[in-house]
Amino acid sequence: MAKEKGVSTLIGIIIIVATAVVAFGGVFGYQYLIQPNNQSQNQNQQPVTSNQPVDNAQPVDQTAEWKTYTNNEHGFEIKYPMNLTLEESIADSLRSDIQLTLTLESQNDTPIYFRIEVQINPTYLTANEYASMVGTGAASPMKNIFTSDIAISGVVGKKVIKDNPPSDANPQNPNYVEENTLNDSTIFLVKGDKLYLFEIYNKNGAVNYNSDLCDQIISTFKFTK
């Protein structure tokens, strides 16, 4: 009996040792053989690239083909559409140095003008002070005046939109506009001893015109000195 008991004990010990060896071998194999293999495979996998086309199109500059006017005396340049003609003239006022006029289109058979005027500013008034004087004359009372800041070529000026009383109060007249219609725009820009005026106007004073084209033209204005 004692001999059989000893054999049973020995067999039990052998089974335990064998189980431990198998378990240790499994852990060793996973850590040192299988796991490094998986890591190597992951490292060798190439990133998946998309075949979808990438839109690298740049926004089109609509002013790129425009004509450029350069004034070295007053140190500025501006672009305007190829189909427009720029007229340069000496202003009527003794304070003004130069006027540039673009005829944009006709409304009621009357041309609409976009004008840039350079004036001498001997008193060094600010753009805000010039804007505050718009519509204060008794001869041309205006009920609606809207003023806002506008930056042109790094200089902050004032934009004034106002109602310009019609030249004919008869509603049947082609030049008639309703009372309080906002139909006139002026920008005051001061740099050094000069005042730069940007105006949209109609000689009859009866124009209701607010064009993106004018904003584009103004956006091309640059001081060169």
Query: For the segment 17-44, what is each residue's pLDDT rounded down to a tens digit?
Result: 556 555 555 555 555 555 555 555 555 5
Structure tokens, 73: 């005396």
Q: Which CATH topology does 67-223 take?
A: Protein Transport Mog1p; Chain A (3.40.1000)
For residue range 153-202, list pLDDT tens digits in order. Answer: 999 999 988 765 555 555 565 555 555 455 678 899 999 989 999 988 77
Question: Strand locations in the chain, DSSP E?
Answer: 67-71, 76-80, 86-89, 96-107, 110-120, 145-152, 155-163, 182-191, 194-202, 222-223
Q: What is the DSSP string of 189-225?
A: EEETTEEEEEEEEETTS------HHHHHHHHT-EE--
Residue 60 has pLDDT above 90, yes or no: no
Tell me the pTM.
0.63
Q: What is the pLDDT of residue 222?
A: 96
What is the C-alpha separation between 29 and 152, in angstroms, rounded? 74
109-153 pLDDT tens trace: 667 788 899 988 888 899 999 998 886 665 555 556 788 999 999
| Edge-first strand listing for the sheet containing 222-223 | 67-71, 76-80, 222-223
Residue 103 has pLDDT above 50, yes or no: yes
Task: Quote the pLDDT of residue 2.
Answer: 47
Query: 99 and 89 in contact (C-beta within 8 Å)?
Result: yes
